[in-house]
Amino acid sequence: MFPNNWCKWTPVALSADVPAGTVIPAWTPTGDVALWRSQSGQLSASSDRCPHRGMRLSHGFVRGEALACIYHGWSYGRDGACLRIPAHPDLQPPASINTRNQITTEREGIVWVVNEAQDEPPPSFDGYWPLRSMTFQASIAALEAAAGAKADISGLIRCTLGGETAFLLAVTKGEAETIVHVLADKNASLAQRIAISQAGEQLRRDAESADALEGAN
Amino acid sequence: MSDPMIDEWYPVALFSKLDAAGRDTLLMGHPIHVARTGSERVAATEADGRSLPVRIRYGHVWTSLGEPKKELFDIPEADEPGRRLVDVGVVRVRCSPLRAVENFLDIAHFPFVHTDILGAEPHTEVEKYDVEIREKEDEVWATKVKFFQPQAAKSAAGGITTDYMYRVPAPTCSVLYKTCPPRPGEWDVITLFVQPLTEELCDVWPWMALYDDEADMTDLIHFQQMIFLQDRSILENQIPRRLPLDPGMEIPTRADMTSVAYRRWLKRHNYTYGAQLVAQ
Ligand code: FES
Ligand SMILES: [Fe+2]
């Protein structure tokens, strides 16, 4: 699972799920983030709470190179600094107003976030490409049991889904919730990708009912 | 519960909709039952049968779990002839009752949350206005508030600068006075009465006393409900859910002077039901 002793980075989303000019909610061990991509394609992870009145910034909107809050339109740059307060158009916002952004990077279609600079980049999964992200209402142990495989030392779960080899990047979010990014062979056909994706849903049902059974005992 | 908010009056039902079978509801975490007992009579009781004080006013039934030290606040305009009294109904919001009131006092969100209705870019500037805590009445007042609105009310056809006054006569109630397009010089009255179900869940009962005599009643109600549903999408996504009363957790600007006075007034009275006291 991620992050771990060897990898401080957390995989939070697929690059394809954050096109230019959009913002989505994501989760890191440091807290919820608003993950957004500027019009020019730059990615940022701001803490998901506007410093003004606490509104979730993931409900906001991207304009140009800034993220704006949906409540009163305060906007923030890639360094987290507040750029503009629409109620006071002539005011230069104080430097202390900041969304405390984390560090982001993208590698082979996966967005990774970390809260302090790292010497090592996040891992690369040669020959594989992310297919989809899923949230399981299940523990990582239930996920491993359902997948019939354990995470290896690098944190990766290698298993068979829909008759194909797949890799799972799992992130533990609380005790009974796990975020899973599913990777498939780069050259998988559309039919194979659909099969893996459907098997991923079965995996989710299995993991969730295993946890539910455990809870009932 | 040592919170002095226990001795305040709260709306718990629409009088016009209340019948003899009544309604089970929650007030500050306590289950209560409210029912009509006569043409102008209502009874409110706690689960153990204890009967609670009742007032019927401004279209609503009011009660209190404690011993109100003051009579329910007065809205003199409510009795003026020629006004249409509008029972808007109820909107349930998963937020602190205090956050719901604070949002009602805020105009800077109009262009972003009520886009093209109560505000629109680029008209986002909030000009300086006056705020005071009126000691004699013990109320928060904001006056000389102005804002440009594309469609200020159901009766407004085009964009106009609207004048507002805000008043907080009780910790979970606010009265808004706004310029009334059909009658220059008069003020429409729009209120926000909030029933605290718990510290993080409330029923919001808007009510209006308007000079609008053209619009269809259903349209008036729908217009106001739409506005409150837009507000709900904000209120259910603020972190933390409770209103932070200690400075430091959130950053106000000059446009938030009403909110700052409201928080200060709450703190001064130790009105903390729905508040977060220690910055977390
Ligand atoms: S809460 Fe974000 S701008 Fe006000
Ligand atoms: Fe609003």
Architecture of the domain whose range is B79-276: Alpha-Beta Complex (3.90)
Question: What pLDDT score does B3 carry?
Answer: 86
Going by DSSP bridges, is the β-strand pair B243-244/B275-276 parallel, antiparallel, or unpaired?
parallel
B226 CA distance to ligand 2 centroid (A)?
10
Question: Most A CBs within 10 Å: which of B105, B114, B200, B238, as the mutation test of the A interface?
Answer: B238
Question: What pLDDT score does B2 carry?
Answer: 66
ipTM of the complex: 0.95
Mean pLDDT of A94-102: 97
Is it the case that residue B46 has pLDDT exceeding 80?
Answer: yes
Ligand 1 nearest-atom number relative to CA A55:
1
Measured between CB atoms, does B225 come within 8 Å of chain A?
no
- Which one-letter amino acid corresponds to residue A8? K
Is it the case that residue A217 has pLDDT exceeding 60?
Answer: no
Distance in angstroms (rounded) separating the CA atoms of residues A49 and B237: 9
**According to DSSP H, which parts of chain A are helical?**
140-147, 190-216
Mean pLDDT of B206-212: 92
With H, G, I as helix, E, B as strand and everything else as coil, classify residue B275.
strand
Residue in chain A closest to B235 (alpha carbons) equals A55
Q: How far is CA A177 from CA A35, A160, A215, B82, B148, in A?
A: 20, 22, 14, 58, 46
Q: Which domains are assigned to chain A? A: 4-114 (2.102.10.10), 128-216 (3.30.70)
Question: What pLDDT score does A43 carry?
Answer: 98
CB A39 within 8 A of CB A64: yes
Is it the case that residue B1 has pLDDT exceeding 50?
Answer: no
Side-chain half-sphere exposure of B262, counting CA atoms within 13 A: 29
* Residue ranges, CATH 3.90.380.10, chain B: 79-276
Residue B77 DSSP one-character state = G
Question: What pLDDT score does B160 carry?
Answer: 85
Label residue B184 by pLDDT band (50, 70, 90).
Answer: confident
Size of interface A-B (CB pairs under 8 A): 66
Measured between CB atoms, does B112 come within 8 Å of chain A?
yes
Q: Which residue's structure tokens are 């771990």? A: A4
Residue in chain B closest to A49 (alpha carbons) equals B239
Mean pLDDT of A34-48: 98
Distance in angstroms (rounded) separating the CA atoms of residues B195 and B172: 7
Give the other-Cβ count within 10 Å of B54's Cβ: 18
Mean pLDDT of A93-108: 97
Task: Name beta bridge partners: A24.
Answer: A35
Distance in angstroms (rounded) separating the CA atoms of residues A16 and A60: 19
Measured between CB atoms, does B126 come within 8 Å of chain A?
yes
Is it the case that residue B217 has pLDDT exceeding 50?
Answer: yes
Label residue B58 by pLDDT band (50, 70, 90).
Answer: very high
* Residue ranges, CATH 2.20.25.680, chain B: 1-72
Distance in angstroms (rounded) separating the CA atoms of residues B193 and A131: 49
Q: Is the CB of A85 under 6 A from ligand 1?
A: no
Interface of B with A in 140-159 (CB under 8 A): none
| E strand or H helix at B259 | helix B257-269
Label residue B154 by pLDDT band (50, 70, 90).
Answer: low
Residues 6+ apart with CB under 8 A from B85: B59, B78, B207, B208, B209
Q: Is the CB of A76 under 6 A from ligand 1?
A: no
Is it the case that residue B156 has pLDDT exceeding 70?
Answer: no
Mean pLDDT of B122-142: 97
Provide φ and ψ at B228, rounded to 5°.
-70, -30
Give the residue from A65, A85, A64, A66 showing the smallest Cα distance to A74.
Answer: A85
| E strand or H helix at B104 | helix B97-104
Mean pLDDT of A77-98: 97
Distance in angstroms (rounded) separating the CA atoms of residues B145 and B157: 21
Mean pLDDT of B49-73: 97
- Which one-letter amino acid corresponds to residue A67? L
- Which one-letter amino acid corresponds to residue B12? V
CATH code assigned to B1-72: 2.20.25.680
CB A56 within 8 A of CB A99: no
Interface of B with A in 234-273 (CB under 8 A): 234, 237-240, 244, 249-255
Burial of A11 (0-12, 13-18, 19+ CB in 10 A): buried
Instruction: Kindly state the tokens that stand for B180.
Output: 């009334």
Question: What pLDDT score does A108 carry?
Answer: 94
Mean pLDDT of B176-204: 93
Is it the case that residue A216 has pLDDT exceeding 70?
Answer: no
Mean pLDDT of B35-50: 96
Question: Most A CBs within 10 Å: which of B237, B243, B256, as the mutation test of the A interface?
Answer: B237
Question: What pLDDT score does A78 carry?
Answer: 97
B109 CA distance to ligand 2 centroid (A)?
7
Distance between the two ends of chain B, CA-based, in angstroms?
23
